[in-house]
Chain A
Amino acid sequence: MNGPVVFVVDDDRSVRSSLKLLISSVGLQVESFESADTFLQRKPPDAPSCLVLDVRLRGLSGLDFQRELAVRNIHIPIIFITGHGDIPMSVRAMKAGAVEFLTKPFRDQDLLDAIRIALEKDSARRGQEKELTDLKERFDSLTPREQKVISMVVSGMLNKQIADELGTAENTVKVHRSRAIEKMHAQSLAELVKMVEKLKSSSEPRML
């Protein structure tokens, strides 16, 4: 995994360049953009990242841009900065999942703290995503027979019942089960059940 990246989108040139210097002063990689559109043209990084976004932008506003990202299924944490913030605007931004809403001029530490939290959040989200992807890959490596046996085990059926259901010997079922546990890198049957449940819950919203 690459080092974290902070994206800055602000149409004021001097604010943009000063943010770049400030954020890079704590050793973070920064990329800045003058508009939402130019940011969207950049390929999403394979690294924890966050977005420092000015509310007032030419063309698409910051709040609309936040909505646009959600529609595109881009889950980057957002820190809003604004020169003229008010409560309704900040409530709207926070409700839509913003990490922080800072009014210019802000204390440098507040911004850097918000960036740290945002990156941790993104990192955690990425970790979870990675774990799920791994699980999915392992599950996909099972044979259809093994997947069938596993799902029956998870639903609480005994080996004998599974054998009867599939019209096979109980020993065969036991072999499928232990192979599956091995392939899924599970330490125990209990962990295997947990893994399958995690997979199910992550795929459920997509099935709805």
Chain B
Amino acid sequence: MAFLSLPVLTKMTSETQGARRSTEPLDLQALLETIPALVVCAVPDGSAEFANRAYQEYTGLPLNELAGNAWQTTIHPDDLANFFGEFPVGLASGELFESEARIRGADGQYRWFSIRKTQVVWRTPNTEPSLRALFACEDIDERKQQESARRYIEESYRLVVETASDVVISMGENGAILLANPATARVFGYHPADLIGRPLTMLMPGFLRKLHEAGVKRYLATGQRHINWQGTELTGLRKNGQEFPVEVSFGELTKDGHRVFTGFIRDISERKQAEEIRKQAQRVIQTMQAELARVSRLTTMGELAASIAHEVNQPLTAVNNNSSACLRLLANQNLRPDVLRQALEEIVADGTRASAIIARIRAFIKKAPVEQNRLDVNYVIGEVLAMMGHGFAENRIVLKSELAQALPPVLGDRVQLQQVLLNLIMNGIEAMTAVIDRPRLLLVESRLDESGDVLVAVRDSGTGLGLEADRVFTPFFTTKANGMGMGLSISRSLIEAHGGRLWATPNSPHGAVFSLTLPVPAGRPL
């Protein structure tokens, strides 16, 4: 079948219809060429009768290559059905139909077009009226791309909002809820649909409502923000009346001249609870530490006094001995001047030594009585390790204990033993703070020693004592920058007051071992 152009049709018309109608077809063709669209005119079987220049130019095909059904190959196969739509629907119809389809261009690429089609009844003087379809195709590819991109973004946003575990809620200038996501049901107990159009203030406790309303009003009027819009902690109100802590962030969007506020609300009850528990634990630890420090200070002063008494007694003894000796020699007329001079020199030196010690700690005089209770040494060790608990982790120390089972009880003062152990363990920890090239190991042991006393040893892998092993027990001797030098001296006094001993030896291959023994009282407990 040959491709018929409108001019041919026109010629036929003008021959059959006469002068009155002869101008019509020319008008039609001219009209179709002026439309800024691709236009095809087809007969009911789908073969083209005419395609305007725009169509030819876009597809890059001359008229003869579009003739018959050939033009249909320029329509994307998937869109062909859509392109024709319900055509033909009936002779009488003058209605306009619209659809969308892709048409292949001269470059081989398809673009989206909006297809407007209409059916016209073609009347010629010497033939039956026949049906034609006019397709006007407008390039909408760019719009279509933008739409698709926008739809993708919107869909993504919708997904995020719908699946978010945080509440997303939008509010208009009037304070009414415009949008709420499904998380609202879980967090606040309201179904999103039940919230639309209702005031946002219903999600907050009474005391916040006025503040919120005033804040919004002020912001709308002045543009001034009075709270941080990112991560402010507020209080929410659930449907069941329960108040709960929330963290709110919100943003603002202007739509058609109206401002929309969208908030992201996170339920932080659990986080708050965890924080509260941690704070409480911290308080308990602080209280315990304060109590320990207090008890420690109290008894330390008593023990300090005892230790000082011991230190002062040494020079006093020497003074007594020297002067008594001189008196005796004098009585026997046997006191040689050189002996007297030496004795007097020593008396002066010892007097100075005694007053120096006293001057240092004049305040501590009274000695607290030592309690004598039956104690399970392992239990006391356990208490001290529990008190120290976080001290090990803080200093990245590996704590091990090897405690012999069924040790006999010892007689002693629980708090004092705690202090001594605490002192030894703290010293161990401090001795290891500088250690970086090997594990920081602290081992606490208990067992019976050869003589049947209970022995406790605290081993560290610290810097060790070197040649100072003995001096560490001397009052006011310290290797620490802020140490008073009394800890080990007092500890030794305490242990000796219990009838035991405290001494230091090197640990192998690094560090020190502080060992103490406590005698087991004769006779078994009932």
Contacts and interface: CB of A to CB of B under 8 A. Distances in A.
Contacts of B501: 61, 64
Interface centre among A21, A81, A108 (most CB of B within 10 A): A21
Interface in B301-327: 306-307, 309-311, 313-322, 324-326
B315 A14 contact: yes
Interface residues on A, range: 20 to 34
B292 interface: no
Contact of A58 (B315, B325, B470, B493): B470
B500 to A, nearest CB: 10
Contact of A15 (B314, B326, B493, B499): B314
Interface stretch (A42-50, A83-91, A131-139): A83-91
Nearest to A17: B346
Interface in A66-121: 67, 81, 83-84, 86, 88-89, 92, 103-108
A21 B322 contact: yes
Contacts of A88: 498-499, 519
B306 A84 contact: yes
A21 B306 CA distance: 28
B339 A21 contact: yes
A108 B346 contact: no
B324 to A, nearest CB: 4
A25 B318 contact: no
B430 interface: no
A105 B351 CA distance: 13
B496 interface: yes
A18 interface: yes
B373 to A, nearest CB: 14
A15 B497 contact: no
Interface centre among A15, A18, A58 (most CB of B within 10 A): A18
Interface centre among B314, B470, B493 (most CB of A within 10 A): B314
A21 B344 CA distance: 12
Contact of B314 (A58, A103, A104): A104
A175 interface: no
A33 B309 CA distance: 24
Given A21-B325, A61-B501, A104 B313 contact: yes
Contacts of A15: 314, 317-318, 321
Interface centre among B317, B328, B470 (most CB of A within 10 A): B317
A107 B498 CA distance: 26
Given A15-B321, A61-B501, A84-B493, A21 B315 contact: no
Contacts of A17: 318, 346
A12 interface: yes
Contact of A25 (B306, B309, B317, B328): B328
Contacts of A21: 321-322, 325-326, 339, 343
A157 B52 CA distance: 165
A108 B313 contact: no
Contacts of B321: 15, 18-19, 21-22, 108
Nearest to A87: B499
Contacts of B309: 83-84
A67 to B, nearest CB: 8
A83 B310 contact: yes
Contacts of B346: 14, 17-18
Interface of B: 306-307, 309-311, 313-322, 324-326, 328-329, 334, 339, 343, 346, 349-350, 353, 451, 470, 493, 496-499, 501, 519
Leading 7 A-B pairs by shortest Cβ distance: A18-B321, A108-B324, A83-B310, A25-B325, A18-B318, A84-B310, A22-B325
11 contacts: A14-B353, A21-B326, A21-B339, A22-B324, A25-B334, A56-B496, A58-B470, A84-B307, A84-B496, A89-B496, A106-B317
Interface of A: 12, 14-15, 17-19, 21-22, 24-26, 55-56, 58-59, 61, 64, 67, 81, 83-84, 86, 88-89, 92, 103-108
